[in-house]
Copies of this chain bind each other. A is one copy, B any other.
Amino acid sequence: MSEVTSKGLSGPAFKPVDPMAIPKMDFPSKTRILRVGILGFGTVGSGVYRMLLDNRDAVSQKIGFSAEVVRIGIKNRDKPRELPADLFTTDLDSIVDDPQIDVILELIGGVDPAGALVERALKNGKSVVTANKELMAKEGSRLVHLAKDRGLDLHYEAAVGGGIPVIQPLKHQLAGNDVLKMMGILNGTTNYILTKMTEEGADFNDVLVEAQAKGYAEADPTNDVDGFDTSYKIAILASIAFGRQVPVAGIYREGIRKIGREDIHYAGVLGYVIKLLGVVQPIEKDRLLVRVHPTLLPKNHQLASVSGVYNALWVHGDFVGDLMFSGRGAGSDPTASAVVGDLIDVGRNLAIGGQGSAIPWEQSIETEPIESLETEYYLRLIVQDRPKVLGQIAMILGEDNVSLAAMEMRVLDPEAKLGEIVFLTHRCKEGDFRRAIAEIEKSDIVEKVCSWIRVEC
Protein backbone atom coordinates (compact mmCIF):
# COMPACT_ATOMS: atom_id res chain seq x y z
CA MET A 1 0.00 0.00 0.00
CA SER A 2 3.08 2.24 -0.21
CA GLU A 3 1.86 4.23 -3.22
CA VAL A 4 -1.37 5.17 -1.49
CA THR A 5 -1.77 8.85 -0.90
CA SER A 6 -4.35 10.83 0.97
CA LYS A 7 -5.87 11.62 -2.39
CA GLY A 8 -5.99 7.91 -3.17
CA LEU A 9 -9.75 7.76 -2.97
CA SER A 10 -10.64 10.95 -4.78
CA GLY A 11 -11.49 9.40 -8.15
CA PRO A 12 -13.88 10.87 -10.67
CA ALA A 13 -16.61 12.98 -9.06
CA PHE A 14 -20.01 11.76 -10.19
CA LYS A 15 -22.68 14.30 -10.87
CA PRO A 16 -25.14 13.94 -8.03
CA VAL A 17 -28.89 14.13 -8.30
CA ASP A 18 -29.93 17.68 -7.62
CA PRO A 19 -32.31 17.31 -4.68
CA MET A 20 -34.14 20.46 -5.71
CA ALA A 21 -34.95 19.09 -9.16
CA ILE A 22 -37.25 16.39 -7.80
CA PRO A 23 -40.50 17.51 -6.23
CA LYS A 24 -40.75 16.64 -2.55
CA MET A 25 -43.01 13.67 -1.93
CA ASP A 26 -45.94 13.87 0.39
CA PHE A 27 -48.75 11.47 1.18
CA PRO A 28 -50.78 11.70 -2.04
CA SER A 29 -53.93 11.03 -0.04
CA LYS A 30 -53.18 14.02 2.23
CA THR A 31 -54.43 11.98 5.18
CA ARG A 32 -52.59 11.03 8.33
CA ILE A 33 -53.20 7.41 7.44
CA LEU A 34 -51.15 5.36 5.00
CA ARG A 35 -53.80 4.27 2.50
CA VAL A 36 -53.00 1.00 0.82
CA GLY A 37 -54.42 -0.52 -2.37
CA ILE A 38 -53.90 -4.24 -2.92
CA LEU A 39 -53.92 -5.80 -6.39
CA GLY A 40 -54.64 -9.54 -6.13
CA PHE A 41 -56.16 -11.36 -3.18
CA GLY A 42 -54.90 -14.92 -3.46
CA THR A 43 -52.56 -16.64 -1.01
CA VAL A 44 -50.21 -13.69 -0.65
CA GLY A 45 -52.79 -10.91 -0.72
CA SER A 46 -54.94 -12.46 1.97
CA GLY A 47 -51.82 -13.16 4.06
CA VAL A 48 -50.80 -9.52 3.83
CA TYR A 49 -54.28 -8.36 4.81
CA ARG A 50 -54.28 -10.67 7.82
CA MET A 51 -50.80 -9.58 8.90
CA LEU A 52 -51.72 -5.89 8.72
CA LEU A 53 -54.72 -6.68 10.89
CA ASP A 54 -53.02 -9.01 13.41
CA ASN A 55 -49.95 -6.82 13.88
CA ARG A 56 -51.60 -3.43 13.35
CA ASP A 57 -50.20 -1.83 16.50
CA ALA A 58 -46.66 -2.87 15.72
CA VAL A 59 -46.98 -1.74 12.11
CA SER A 60 -48.47 1.63 13.15
CA GLN A 61 -45.75 2.15 15.70
CA LYS A 62 -43.06 1.41 13.13
CA ILE A 63 -44.45 3.60 10.37
CA GLY A 64 -45.61 6.38 12.65
CA PHE A 65 -49.04 6.13 10.98
CA SER A 66 -51.64 3.46 10.80
CA ALA A 67 -51.84 1.57 7.51
CA GLU A 68 -55.32 1.05 6.15
CA VAL A 69 -56.22 -1.22 3.24
CA VAL A 70 -58.82 0.83 1.41
CA ARG A 71 -59.29 -1.14 -1.81
CA ILE A 72 -58.57 -4.64 -3.06
CA GLY A 73 -58.50 -5.49 -6.75
CA ILE A 74 -59.66 -8.98 -7.73
CA LYS A 75 -60.36 -10.90 -10.92
CA ASN A 76 -63.46 -12.75 -9.86
CA ARG A 77 -66.26 -11.11 -7.88
CA ASP A 78 -68.13 -14.38 -7.46
CA LYS A 79 -65.76 -16.06 -5.02
CA PRO A 80 -67.13 -16.03 -1.47
CA ARG A 81 -65.09 -13.64 0.73
CA GLU A 82 -65.25 -12.85 4.41
CA LEU A 83 -64.65 -9.13 3.97
CA PRO A 84 -67.21 -6.46 3.06
CA ALA A 85 -68.04 -6.42 -0.64
CA ASP A 86 -67.37 -2.68 -1.00
CA LEU A 87 -63.66 -3.28 -0.29
CA PHE A 88 -63.31 -5.18 -3.57
CA THR A 89 -63.33 -4.14 -7.18
CA THR A 90 -62.57 -5.89 -10.45
CA ASP A 91 -61.56 -2.55 -11.95
CA LEU A 92 -57.84 -2.70 -11.13
CA ASP A 93 -57.04 0.51 -13.00
CA SER A 94 -59.35 2.39 -10.65
CA ILE A 95 -57.07 1.43 -7.73
CA VAL A 96 -53.83 2.58 -9.32
CA ASP A 97 -55.59 5.79 -10.47
CA ASP A 98 -57.20 6.55 -7.09
CA PRO A 99 -55.70 9.81 -5.72
CA GLN A 100 -56.71 8.72 -2.22
CA ILE A 101 -54.33 5.75 -2.30
CA ASP A 102 -50.69 6.20 -1.19
CA VAL A 103 -49.15 2.81 -1.90
CA ILE A 104 -49.91 -0.10 -4.22
CA LEU A 105 -49.16 -3.71 -3.29
CA GLU A 106 -48.97 -5.72 -6.52
CA LEU A 107 -49.68 -9.34 -5.56
CA ILE A 108 -51.12 -10.68 -8.82
CA GLY A 109 -48.02 -12.33 -10.28
CA GLY A 110 -47.06 -12.75 -13.92
CA VAL A 111 -46.18 -10.02 -16.38
CA ASP A 112 -49.64 -9.24 -17.71
CA PRO A 113 -51.56 -7.27 -16.43
CA ALA A 114 -49.29 -6.74 -13.38
CA GLY A 115 -46.58 -4.92 -15.35
CA ALA A 116 -48.91 -2.34 -16.85
CA LEU A 117 -50.56 -1.74 -13.47
CA VAL A 118 -47.22 -1.22 -11.69
CA GLU A 119 -46.11 1.17 -14.42
CA ARG A 120 -49.37 3.12 -14.22
CA ALA A 121 -49.15 3.30 -10.41
CA LEU A 122 -45.60 4.69 -10.58
CA LYS A 123 -46.59 7.20 -13.25
CA ASN A 124 -49.41 8.27 -10.93
CA GLY A 125 -46.83 9.00 -8.23
CA LYS A 126 -47.49 5.98 -6.02
CA SER A 127 -44.76 3.85 -4.53
CA VAL A 128 -45.17 0.14 -5.20
CA VAL A 129 -44.39 -3.06 -3.34
CA THR A 130 -44.45 -6.21 -5.43
CA ALA A 131 -43.90 -9.92 -4.81
CA ASN A 132 -43.66 -10.59 -8.54
CA LYS A 133 -40.45 -12.41 -9.49
CA GLU A 134 -41.31 -12.92 -13.16
CA LEU A 135 -42.13 -9.24 -13.63
CA MET A 136 -39.01 -8.05 -11.82
CA ALA A 137 -36.78 -10.52 -13.69
CA LYS A 138 -38.15 -9.45 -17.07
CA GLU A 139 -39.07 -5.77 -16.59
CA GLY A 140 -37.22 -4.88 -13.39
CA SER A 141 -34.66 -2.56 -14.91
CA ARG A 142 -37.26 -0.41 -16.66
CA LEU A 143 -39.60 -0.29 -13.66
CA VAL A 144 -36.89 0.56 -11.13
CA HIS A 145 -35.71 3.40 -13.39
CA LEU A 146 -39.27 4.65 -13.61
CA ALA A 147 -39.53 4.69 -9.80
CA LYS A 148 -36.11 6.30 -9.38
CA ASP A 149 -36.86 9.07 -11.87
CA ARG A 150 -40.01 9.96 -9.92
CA GLY A 151 -38.40 9.77 -6.46
CA LEU A 152 -40.59 6.80 -5.59
CA ASP A 153 -39.97 3.44 -3.97
CA LEU A 154 -40.29 0.14 -5.79
CA HIS A 155 -39.62 -2.64 -3.30
CA TYR A 156 -39.68 -6.36 -4.15
CA GLU A 157 -38.20 -8.26 -1.19
CA ALA A 158 -40.95 -10.92 -1.43
CA ALA A 159 -39.99 -11.76 -5.03
CA VAL A 160 -37.06 -13.92 -3.88
CA GLY A 161 -36.85 -16.20 -0.85
CA GLY A 162 -40.32 -15.45 0.54
CA GLY A 163 -39.81 -14.04 4.02
CA ILE A 164 -36.02 -14.36 4.06
CA PRO A 165 -34.36 -10.95 3.72
CA VAL A 166 -32.03 -11.33 0.74
CA ILE A 167 -32.74 -8.50 -1.69
CA GLN A 168 -32.26 -5.53 0.62
CA PRO A 169 -29.16 -7.02 2.30
CA LEU A 170 -27.60 -7.44 -1.17
CA LYS A 171 -28.55 -3.87 -2.08
CA HIS A 172 -27.38 -2.32 1.14
CA GLN A 173 -25.33 -4.16 3.76
CA LEU A 174 -23.31 -6.18 1.25
CA ALA A 175 -23.10 -3.41 -1.34
CA GLY A 176 -19.41 -2.73 -0.75
CA ASN A 177 -18.39 -6.25 -1.73
CA ASP A 178 -17.45 -7.66 -5.07
CA VAL A 179 -19.64 -10.75 -5.17
CA LEU A 180 -17.45 -13.70 -6.18
CA LYS A 181 -20.21 -16.30 -6.24
CA MET A 182 -23.83 -16.74 -5.21
CA MET A 183 -25.74 -20.00 -4.97
CA GLY A 184 -29.33 -20.39 -3.90
CA ILE A 185 -31.97 -22.98 -3.19
CA LEU A 186 -34.72 -20.66 -4.35
CA ASN A 187 -37.71 -22.90 -5.06
CA GLY A 188 -39.53 -24.67 -2.23
CA THR A 189 -41.44 -27.12 -4.44
CA THR A 190 -38.35 -28.66 -6.02
CA ASN A 191 -36.48 -28.69 -2.72
CA TYR A 192 -39.40 -30.51 -1.12
CA ILE A 193 -39.46 -33.05 -3.96
CA LEU A 194 -35.69 -33.67 -3.86
CA THR A 195 -35.76 -33.93 -0.06
CA LYS A 196 -38.58 -36.51 -0.17
CA MET A 197 -36.80 -38.47 -2.91
CA THR A 198 -33.68 -38.50 -0.72
CA GLU A 199 -35.42 -39.43 2.52
CA GLU A 200 -37.73 -42.07 1.08
CA GLY A 201 -35.79 -43.37 -1.92
CA ALA A 202 -38.86 -42.45 -3.95
CA ASP A 203 -39.26 -41.66 -7.64
CA PHE A 204 -39.74 -38.13 -8.93
CA ASN A 205 -43.24 -38.76 -10.31
CA ASP A 206 -44.57 -40.32 -7.10
CA VAL A 207 -43.30 -37.45 -4.97
CA LEU A 208 -44.63 -34.89 -7.44
CA VAL A 209 -48.15 -36.37 -7.17
CA GLU A 210 -47.91 -36.30 -3.37
CA ALA A 211 -46.65 -32.69 -3.43
CA GLN A 212 -49.55 -31.70 -5.67
CA ALA A 213 -52.01 -33.35 -3.27
CA LYS A 214 -50.48 -31.39 -0.37
CA GLY A 215 -50.60 -28.10 -2.25
CA TYR A 216 -46.79 -27.81 -2.41
CA ALA A 217 -46.83 -28.19 -6.22
CA GLU A 218 -49.16 -26.72 -8.83
CA ALA A 219 -51.37 -28.84 -11.10
CA ASP A 220 -49.03 -27.73 -13.90
CA PRO A 221 -45.65 -27.94 -12.17
CA THR A 222 -43.59 -26.67 -15.12
CA ASN A 223 -42.75 -23.30 -13.61
CA ASP A 224 -41.18 -24.97 -10.56
CA VAL A 225 -39.76 -28.31 -11.67
CA ASP A 226 -38.31 -27.07 -14.94
CA GLY A 227 -36.45 -24.28 -13.16
CA PHE A 228 -38.26 -21.22 -14.55
CA ASP A 229 -39.09 -19.90 -11.07
CA THR A 230 -35.49 -20.32 -9.93
CA SER A 231 -34.22 -18.63 -13.09
CA TYR A 232 -36.37 -15.51 -12.42
CA LYS A 233 -35.09 -15.36 -8.85
CA ILE A 234 -31.41 -15.79 -9.67
CA ALA A 235 -31.82 -13.19 -12.44
CA ILE A 236 -33.07 -10.68 -9.86
CA LEU A 237 -30.33 -11.49 -7.35
CA ALA A 238 -27.63 -11.31 -9.99
CA SER A 239 -29.00 -8.02 -11.34
CA ILE A 240 -28.79 -6.50 -7.85
CA ALA A 241 -25.40 -7.92 -6.96
CA PHE A 242 -23.82 -6.77 -10.21
CA GLY A 243 -25.92 -3.62 -10.66
CA ARG A 244 -26.92 -4.55 -14.21
CA GLN A 245 -29.94 -6.30 -15.68
CA VAL A 246 -29.30 -9.99 -16.26
CA PRO A 247 -31.45 -11.14 -19.20
CA VAL A 248 -33.49 -14.24 -18.33
CA ALA A 249 -32.80 -15.55 -21.82
CA GLY A 250 -29.08 -15.61 -20.99
CA ILE A 251 -29.55 -18.00 -18.06
CA TYR A 252 -28.80 -21.66 -18.60
CA ARG A 253 -31.78 -23.60 -17.24
CA GLU A 254 -32.35 -27.29 -16.54
CA GLY A 255 -35.00 -28.77 -14.21
CA ILE A 256 -35.20 -31.84 -11.98
CA ARG A 257 -37.50 -34.13 -13.99
CA LYS A 258 -34.64 -36.34 -15.14
CA ILE A 259 -33.19 -36.95 -11.67
CA GLY A 260 -33.64 -40.63 -10.86
CA ARG A 261 -33.74 -42.12 -7.40
CA GLU A 262 -30.61 -44.03 -8.45
CA ASP A 263 -28.82 -40.69 -8.90
CA ILE A 264 -29.81 -39.59 -5.40
CA HIS A 265 -28.68 -42.96 -4.05
CA TYR A 266 -25.25 -42.86 -5.72
CA ALA A 267 -24.77 -39.21 -4.81
CA GLY A 268 -25.36 -40.15 -1.17
CA VAL A 269 -22.86 -43.01 -1.34
CA LEU A 270 -20.27 -40.61 -2.78
CA GLY A 271 -20.91 -38.02 -0.02
CA TYR A 272 -23.27 -35.64 -1.82
CA VAL A 273 -26.88 -34.49 -1.90
CA ILE A 274 -28.69 -33.29 -5.03
CA LYS A 275 -30.20 -29.78 -4.95
CA LEU A 276 -31.68 -27.55 -7.62
CA LEU A 277 -29.46 -24.47 -7.48
CA GLY A 278 -29.43 -21.07 -9.06
CA VAL A 279 -25.77 -20.08 -9.40
CA VAL A 280 -24.13 -16.86 -10.54
CA GLN A 281 -20.43 -16.16 -10.85
CA PRO A 282 -18.48 -13.48 -12.70
CA ILE A 283 -16.29 -15.02 -15.38
CA GLU A 284 -14.36 -12.00 -16.50
CA LYS A 285 -14.96 -8.35 -15.91
CA ASP A 286 -18.45 -7.59 -17.22
CA ARG A 287 -19.41 -11.16 -18.00
CA LEU A 288 -21.53 -13.45 -15.83
CA LEU A 289 -22.25 -17.14 -15.96
CA VAL A 290 -25.77 -17.64 -14.58
CA ARG A 291 -27.22 -21.12 -14.42
CA VAL A 292 -30.03 -23.15 -12.92
CA HIS A 293 -29.67 -26.93 -12.73
CA PRO A 294 -29.60 -29.89 -10.37
CA THR A 295 -26.25 -30.02 -8.59
CA LEU A 296 -24.34 -32.49 -6.45
CA LEU A 297 -23.42 -30.62 -3.27
CA PRO A 298 -21.00 -32.06 -0.68
CA LYS A 299 -22.98 -33.08 2.41
CA ASN A 300 -20.94 -30.73 4.58
CA HIS A 301 -21.80 -27.65 2.49
CA GLN A 302 -24.05 -25.25 4.39
CA LEU A 303 -26.69 -25.43 1.64
CA ALA A 304 -26.81 -29.23 1.80
CA SER A 305 -28.79 -29.25 5.06
CA VAL A 306 -31.49 -26.89 3.76
CA SER A 307 -34.40 -29.30 3.45
CA GLY A 308 -38.07 -29.50 2.55
CA VAL A 309 -39.76 -26.25 1.59
CA TYR A 310 -36.93 -24.15 3.08
CA ASN A 311 -34.97 -21.82 0.81
CA ALA A 312 -31.49 -20.44 1.28
CA LEU A 313 -29.04 -18.09 -0.36
CA TRP A 314 -25.29 -18.54 0.01
CA VAL A 315 -23.14 -15.54 -0.91
CA HIS A 316 -19.38 -15.25 -1.19
CA GLY A 317 -18.14 -11.66 -1.18
CA ASP A 318 -14.54 -10.53 -1.39
CA PHE A 319 -14.59 -8.88 2.03
CA VAL A 320 -17.51 -10.46 3.87
CA GLY A 321 -16.41 -14.03 3.06
CA ASP A 322 -19.19 -16.59 2.84
CA LEU A 323 -22.54 -16.14 4.46
CA MET A 324 -25.93 -17.73 4.27
CA PHE A 325 -29.55 -16.73 4.72
CA SER A 326 -32.17 -19.45 5.17
CA GLY A 327 -35.83 -19.77 6.05
CA ARG A 328 -39.27 -20.36 4.61
CA GLY A 329 -39.11 -19.35 0.98
CA ALA A 330 -42.78 -19.36 0.14
CA GLY A 331 -46.27 -19.55 1.55
CA SER A 332 -48.84 -17.02 2.62
CA ASP A 333 -47.36 -15.88 5.93
CA PRO A 334 -43.62 -15.70 5.12
CA THR A 335 -44.36 -13.86 1.86
CA ALA A 336 -46.69 -11.48 3.73
CA SER A 337 -43.82 -10.80 6.15
CA ALA A 338 -41.65 -9.53 3.30
CA VAL A 339 -44.43 -7.46 1.70
CA VAL A 340 -45.37 -5.82 5.00
CA GLY A 341 -41.68 -5.14 5.77
CA ASP A 342 -41.42 -3.32 2.44
CA LEU A 343 -44.69 -1.47 3.10
CA ILE A 344 -43.35 -0.27 6.45
CA ASP A 345 -40.25 1.05 4.67
CA VAL A 346 -42.37 2.92 2.13
CA GLY A 347 -44.51 4.32 4.95
CA ARG A 348 -41.53 5.44 7.02
CA ASN A 349 -40.08 7.14 4.01
CA LEU A 350 -43.33 8.98 3.24
CA ALA A 351 -43.57 9.93 6.93
CA ILE A 352 -40.23 11.74 6.82
CA GLY A 353 -41.04 13.25 3.44
CA GLY A 354 -38.10 11.42 1.93
CA GLN A 355 -37.25 10.58 -1.65
CA GLY A 356 -37.74 6.98 -2.67
CA SER A 357 -34.66 4.83 -2.46
CA ALA A 358 -35.06 2.80 -5.67
CA ILE A 359 -31.66 1.64 -6.84
CA PRO A 360 -31.73 1.13 -10.62
CA TRP A 361 -29.88 -1.56 -12.50
CA GLU A 362 -27.87 -0.39 -15.43
CA GLN A 363 -27.93 -1.73 -18.96
CA SER A 364 -27.90 -5.43 -19.62
CA ILE A 365 -24.83 -7.46 -18.71
CA GLU A 366 -23.50 -10.13 -21.04
CA THR A 367 -23.90 -13.72 -19.99
CA GLU A 368 -21.55 -16.60 -20.74
CA PRO A 369 -22.79 -19.82 -22.35
CA ILE A 370 -22.81 -22.90 -20.10
CA GLU A 371 -20.00 -24.37 -22.21
CA SER A 372 -17.55 -22.06 -20.48
CA LEU A 373 -18.26 -23.64 -17.10
CA GLU A 374 -15.45 -25.59 -15.47
CA THR A 375 -16.54 -28.02 -12.81
CA GLU A 376 -16.68 -31.68 -11.79
CA TYR A 377 -19.33 -34.01 -13.20
CA TYR A 378 -21.32 -37.01 -12.04
CA LEU A 379 -22.07 -39.54 -14.79
CA ARG A 380 -24.24 -42.67 -14.65
CA LEU A 381 -24.04 -45.22 -17.46
CA ILE A 382 -25.45 -48.63 -18.26
CA VAL A 383 -22.68 -50.62 -19.88
CA GLN A 384 -21.93 -54.09 -21.11
CA ASP A 385 -20.51 -56.16 -18.27
CA ARG A 386 -17.40 -57.55 -19.93
CA PRO A 387 -13.63 -57.16 -19.67
CA LYS A 388 -11.94 -53.89 -20.70
CA VAL A 389 -15.17 -51.85 -20.75
CA LEU A 390 -14.05 -49.64 -17.88
CA GLY A 391 -10.72 -49.01 -19.54
CA GLN A 392 -12.35 -48.16 -22.84
CA ILE A 393 -14.69 -45.63 -21.23
CA ALA A 394 -11.79 -44.02 -19.39
CA MET A 395 -9.92 -43.82 -22.69
CA ILE A 396 -12.81 -42.10 -24.49
CA LEU A 397 -13.27 -39.59 -21.66
CA GLY A 398 -9.53 -38.97 -21.53
CA GLU A 399 -9.47 -38.08 -25.23
CA ASP A 400 -11.53 -35.00 -24.31
CA ASN A 401 -9.44 -34.16 -21.23
CA VAL A 402 -11.98 -35.64 -18.82
CA SER A 403 -10.30 -37.66 -16.07
CA LEU A 404 -11.93 -39.75 -13.38
CA ALA A 405 -11.89 -39.12 -9.63
CA ALA A 406 -14.25 -41.72 -8.15
CA MET A 407 -16.34 -44.66 -9.29
CA GLU A 408 -19.17 -46.94 -8.10
CA MET A 409 -20.43 -49.94 -10.02
CA ARG A 410 -22.82 -52.87 -9.76
CA VAL A 411 -24.05 -55.72 -11.91
CA LEU A 412 -27.54 -54.92 -13.16
CA ASP A 413 -28.57 -58.01 -15.06
CA PRO A 414 -26.20 -60.97 -15.09
CA GLU A 415 -28.10 -62.73 -17.89
CA ALA A 416 -28.03 -59.75 -20.22
CA LYS A 417 -24.51 -58.99 -18.97
CA LEU A 418 -25.33 -55.38 -18.10
CA GLY A 419 -23.77 -53.26 -15.39
CA GLU A 420 -24.31 -49.77 -13.98
CA ILE A 421 -21.29 -47.49 -13.54
CA VAL A 422 -21.18 -44.13 -11.82
CA PHE A 423 -18.23 -41.78 -12.21
CA LEU A 424 -17.17 -38.54 -10.62
CA THR A 425 -14.79 -36.65 -12.86
CA HIS A 426 -12.02 -34.26 -11.96
CA ARG A 427 -12.62 -30.63 -12.81
CA CYS A 428 -12.98 -30.13 -16.57
CA LYS A 429 -14.59 -27.87 -19.11
CA GLU A 430 -18.27 -28.36 -19.86
CA GLY A 431 -17.53 -28.20 -23.58
CA ASP A 432 -15.00 -31.04 -23.26
CA PHE A 433 -17.33 -33.05 -21.08
CA ARG A 434 -20.19 -32.74 -23.55
CA ARG A 435 -17.96 -33.83 -26.40
CA ALA A 436 -16.87 -36.84 -24.34
CA ILE A 437 -20.50 -37.76 -23.64
CA ALA A 438 -21.31 -37.56 -27.36
CA GLU A 439 -18.42 -39.97 -28.07
CA ILE A 440 -19.58 -42.34 -25.35
CA GLU A 441 -23.11 -42.37 -26.74
CA LYS A 442 -21.71 -43.46 -30.08
CA SER A 443 -19.66 -46.28 -28.54
CA ASP A 444 -21.05 -49.82 -28.65
CA ILE A 445 -19.87 -50.75 -25.16
CA VAL A 446 -22.24 -48.24 -23.50
CA GLU A 447 -25.92 -49.22 -23.61
CA LYS A 448 -27.24 -45.96 -22.18
CA VAL A 449 -26.07 -42.65 -20.76
CA CYS A 450 -28.64 -42.52 -17.92
CA SER A 451 -27.75 -39.12 -16.51
CA TRP A 452 -25.02 -36.63 -15.87
CA ILE A 453 -25.12 -33.90 -13.24
CA ARG A 454 -22.81 -31.03 -12.42
CA VAL A 455 -20.96 -31.14 -9.08
CA GLU A 456 -20.32 -28.07 -6.99
CA CYS A 457 -16.68 -28.18 -5.98
CA A353 to CA B21, docked complex, whole Å: 11
Q: Are A340 and B355 in contact (CB under 8 A)?
A: no
Chain A 275-322 residues near chain B, CB threshold 8 A: 302, 305, 317-322
Q: Say yes or no for A12: interface residue by CB 8 A criterion.
A: yes
Q: Is A344 an interface residue (CB 8 A)?
A: yes
* Residue A4 lies at the interface, judged by CB distance under 8 Å to chain B: yes
Interface stretch among A57-65, A133-141, A253-261, A423-431?
Answer: A57-65
Count the copies.
2
Contact present for B341 and A62 (CB under 8 Å):
no
Partner of A333, one of B33, B321, B344: B321
**Contact: A341 with B174, CB < 8 Å?**
yes
Tell whether, in the assembled complex, residue A334 and residue B319 are in contact, meaning their CB atoms are under 8 Å apart.
yes
Closest B-chain residue to A32, C-beta based? B13
Check: A66 CB closer than 8 A to any chain B CB: yes
Give complex CA distance A323, B350 in Å. 29
Q: What is the 8 Å Cβ interface bit string for chain A, positions 84-98, against chain B (1 contact, 0 not)?
A: 101100000000000
Write out, one digit per residue, whether chain A residues 240-255 have a CB within 8 A of any chain B CB (1) or not (0): 0001000000000000
Contact assessment for B53 and A164 in the assembled complex, using a CB-CB cutoff below 8 Å: no
Considering only residues 315-352 of chain A, those with a C-beta below 8 Å from chain B are 317-328, 333-334, 336-338, 340-345, 348-349, 351-352
Asked if A379 is an interface residue, CB under 8 A from chain B, the answer is: no
Q: A323 to chain B: which residues have CB within 8 Å? A: 163-164, 325-328
Asked whether B334 lies within 8 Å of A320 as measured between CB atoms, the reply is yes
A317 to chain B, nearest CB (A): 6
Number of A residues near B (Cβ < 8 Å) is: 101
Q: Does A157 contact B (CB under 8 A)?
A: yes
Q: Indicate if A54 sits at the interface (CB-CB under 8 A).
A: yes
With a cutoff of 8 Å between Cβ atoms, the chain B residues found around residue A68 in the complex are: 7, 9-11
Q: Is A225 an interface residue (CB 8 A)?
A: no
Are A174 and B53 closer than 8 Å at their CB atoms?
no
CA gap between A340 and B355 in the complex, in Å: 22
* A67 contact set on B, CB distance < 8 A: 9
A357 located at the interface, meaning its Cβ lies under 8 Å from any Cβ of chain B in the complex: yes
With A54-B318, A165-B165 known as contacts, the answer to whether A12 contacts B66 (CB < 8 A) is yes
Q: Which of A6, A176, A302, A355 has the most CB of B within 10 A?
A: A176
User: Which B residue's beta carbon lies closest to that of A161?
Assistant: B323
Chain B residue at minimal CB-CB distance from A167: B173
Alpha-carbon distance A221/B51, docked complex (angstroms): 45
From B5, B243, B344, B354, A355 is in contact (CB under 8 Å) with: B354
Given A2-B82, A320-B337, the answer on whether A178 and B58 have CB atoms closer than 8 Å is: yes
Q: Which residues of A contact B (CB under 8 A)?
A: 1-2, 4-17, 19-20, 22, 24, 26-27, 31-33, 47, 50-70, 82-84, 86-87, 151, 157, 163-165, 168-169, 172-178, 243, 302, 305, 317-328, 333-334, 336-338, 340-345, 348-349, 351-355, 357, 359
